[in-house]
Amino acid sequence: MFFICTKNKKMNKTVANYIKKNYLEIAIISVITLVALILRLLLLKNYGDLWLDELYSWYFSSQKTVFETVFELLKQDLHVPLYFIILHFWMKIFGNSDISMHLCTLALTIPLIPLSFYVVKNIFNKTAAYFAILAITINAFCIYYSIEVRFYGLVVVLALSSAFFFVKMLETFEKKYIIGFLISHGLLLYTFSITPILTFCCCLVGGFYVLRDKKEYLKQYCKIFGIVVAIAMPTILFTLYNFILMKTQTICSFSKDIYVFNWLVILDIFENFFTNDNYQLLTGQINVYLGFIDKFHYSDYIIFVFLPLIIGIAGFIRSIFSKDKNLYLFLFPSLLFFIITLFIGALGINSFLTRYAAIIYPVIVCSAFYGLSLIRPKTLSVILFSCFLLLNCSFYFVVKRNIFSINRIALGNLPNIMSTYIMPFDDDLILIPYSEKRVKRYIKHGNVISFNFDDALLLKDKASKDFYFGTDKDVNRSNVKKILYSSVLSDKPYERYEKNLYNKYVSKMKKGQKFIIISFRDTFTMPLNLNWQILNDREVYNNANLFTLIMSKVLRDSVQTAEKYLVQKNIYHDETGEYSIYIYEKQ
């Protein structure tokens, strides 16, 4: 007990001395952190409701127990459970309102600001540390993922912590840094499912360094990564199990039908990292890239995006030529990860999305501003960074479309629309072919039919797949267009689906009972439904995007079945273009 008390007194004295010597630095970091918090709260004010992926987070985390949360993830998703477990307990304490869930992510990510400063200061220099935290504070990509109800913000924090401890561990092999690396990297493994690729990259880069410069630590290094592999094994098995099932048992593919790879993602990622222009965050159109040359038609792009992008890339290149051992240990695992995942995406093995780059974001940005701090004369370095900061801050005031000016609403007004215009009773039937499990968060009244056809196509919802196609058909990617073609050509509901929908639900309706179809994500299904006749051309049909084709067909079949047996009362198209509501009644 005496030893513990003595140790605590020494620690308190050390902390007190540090604060005394660095009070101005601490005050500056506190002010910058406060500014970062204010910016994130301002975005939250205009953020709107939960979008589709955030609704997934709510669905998994809202299970009754944490074990059910993990089980649902294992059953339906590719992502590992740490963030969802944290959100599960957060909702138990603070409730599951949209704002409450956003604040969960914010609480997990706001430490990034002081963490970034002390990591960069410790590994590189103080100038680079100030550059880095100011850039991270105002960066749209970082601000956005600091409040989104997804795990990417937490990934940024853990990735930076892991990179720091990795460098310090290899520098000294002190016990505290080894433990720090095992904890931070272990948490990262249970937060983001593709982290094992980064683990491999760290092992490779670190192993090369140890073999070349620190052979006496080789045995200890092997033990450390043996422990990391043991920690990672459950997540690797978890991810492989779901990956194999989704590759073998699903009709559609994320990498081939939803998020098709494009090499322009590289430009998009660097724009995200060094500028505040983010087309995808503003539009929600994931993996849609504007042509690089086309962007130069806009003067705003040249001044407020291209110039800071060039400054950021210049700093990044300068860092690579720094001949700094710490920089290489800090940066190279992330660079190798980036290259490997790009080729995995290009080969169609797995999707590569801009947001997946969150795991390398803090390392790339901190490295770039370390490089910028090395530019001589130092006055030029400061001028370049001042221009970078000024242009990125000005972006929010000059460019009309930015993350603070766009009030993103997806389904938040659905409860009001349902209660004001639709007015369903508790026994009215509600069919939501696209993302029923998530959309029903905003449905307060009505009997929602359990039918998730997007999950049947992309994930592992066998019940919904059987409800549409029947249990006697082996439907897969290679034969589904052939199976559906006659139904598409005749423009009639798929026979098995019509029969199941009628027998199980429509036939049992009472007079005056409503049948309501909510078409979510109209941007996917409505364009094709409005131009259905183009599918009469067999070549057009064969080349049609598989996911869009089938989801459009399911919506069309649902509407045609309702029109055949019921009386249409009304159609409501939401002004945001996110969804439509079809109302039918039993006569």
Positive/negative CA dihedral, 411, 416, 417, 418 = positive
Please, which residues have CB within 8 angstroms of residue 280's CB and are 6 or more apart in sequence? 268, 286, 287, 288, 354
Q: What is the pLDDT of residues 253-281, one digit of tens each?
A: 888 888 888 888 898 899 999 999 876 66
Average pLDDT on 219-236 reads: 96
Find residue 383's DSSP bridge partners: none
3-state SS of the chain: helix, strand, coil percent to 5?
70, 5, 25
How many percent of the chain have pLDDT more than 90? 71
Residue 493 Cα distances to 189, 251, 269, angstroms: 45, 19, 43
| Measured distance CA(190)–CA(55) in Å, rounded | 20
Q: One-letter amino acid identity for 8?
A: N
Take residue 448 and report the two structure tokens written for it. Answer: 């929602």
Burial class (CB in 10 A: 0-12, 13-18, 19+), 388: buried
Number of Cβ within a 10 Å radius of residue 291: 10
- Would you say the pTM of this structure is higher than 0.85? yes
Q: What is the pLDDT of residues 537-570, one digit of tens each?
A: 999 999 999 999 999 999 999 999 999 999 999 9
pLDDT level of residue 296 (50, 70, 90 thresholds): low
Take residue 396 and report the two structure tokens written for it. Answer: 């929010």
Q: How far is CA 537 from the centre of its chain?
A: 37
Please spell the DSSP secondary structure of 237-279, one letter per residue. Answer: HHHHHHHHHHHHH-SS-IIIIIS---TTHHHHHHHHHHSS--H
Helix (H, G, I), strand (E, B) or coil at 319: helix
Q: How confident is the model at residue 316, as a pLDDT?
A: 98
Q: How far is CA 50 from the centre of its chain?
A: 13
Residue 147 · residue 40 · CB < 8 Å: yes
Q: Parallel, antiparallel, or unpaired: how do β-strands 514-520 and 579-585 relate?
A: antiparallel
Closest to 115 measured CA to CA, from 93, 137, 144, 99: 137
Q: What is the pLDDT of residues 320-368, one digit of tens each?
A: 999 999 999 999 999 999 999 999 999 988 888 889 999 999 999 999 9
Please, which residues have CB within 8 angstroms of residue 305's CB and are 6 or more apart in sequence? 271, 275, 277, 295, 395
Average pLDDT on 291-314 reads: 84
Asked if pLDDT for residue 8 goes beyond 80, the answer is no
Calculated CA dihedral for residues 243, 247, 248, 249, nearest 10 degrees? 90
Averaged pLDDT of the chain: 91
pLDDT level of residue 407 (50, 70, 90 thresholds): confident
Comparing 8-22, 151-165, 386-400, which segment has the lowest mean pLDDT?
Answer: 8-22
Burial class (CB in 10 A: 0-12, 13-18, 19+), 581: buried
Longest dimension (CA), the chain: 86
Asked if pLDDT for residue 149 goes beyond 70, the answer is yes
Q: How confident is the model at residue 371, as a pLDDT?
A: 98
Residue 279 · residue 290 · CB < 8 Å: yes
Q: What is the pLDDT of residues 43-70, one digit of tens each?
A: 988 777 888 889 999 999 999 999 999 9
Closest to 41 measured CA to CA, from 147, 138, 137: 147
Average pLDDT on 163-179 reads: 97
Chain position carrying tokens 């027998």: 503
